[in-house]
Amino acid sequence: MLTIIPNLPSHVFGVRANGKVTEDDLKQVLLPGLEALSERYKEIYYLLVLETDVQNFTAGAWIQDLFAGVKHLTQWKKMAIVTEQKSVETFTDIFSYVSPGEAKGYELSELPQAINWLKQK
């Protein structure tokens, strides 16, 4: 399930992933949020708090995630992935070298630092 994280800076869109994440979660929560941010600011600052294993994302969810990434490819500015899964955190840090924007991995205990990093344009 994806839920929107409230009380973030207006230029930051964030979601929390728990349990099983489906294609519908991405269509109903993630995609509309990214679209609204894209329309309003023409750039994307994104926070994902990953409190579930990446294996809990369905195939349809991964397809929708890929669609979102490609559709807004030139608008990604910063992406913070907050998780206790070291492999995801490491992948995020490496991904930053090939993505158009910056990407950083953080541990769950570092959520305030992730938000602070995203605040800075």
Q: Phi and psi of 63, rounded to 5°?
A: -65, -45
> pTM value?
0.83
pLDDT, tens digit (0-9, with 9 covering 90-100), for 15-47:
999 998 888 888 899 889 988 998 999 999 999
Average pLDDT of the chain to the nearest whole number:
82
Question: What's the CATH number for 2-119?
Answer: 3.40.50
CA distance 32 to 34: 6
pLDDT at residue 94, as a whole number: 47
Provide the residue ranges of all domains of the chain, joining segments of one domain with +. 2-119
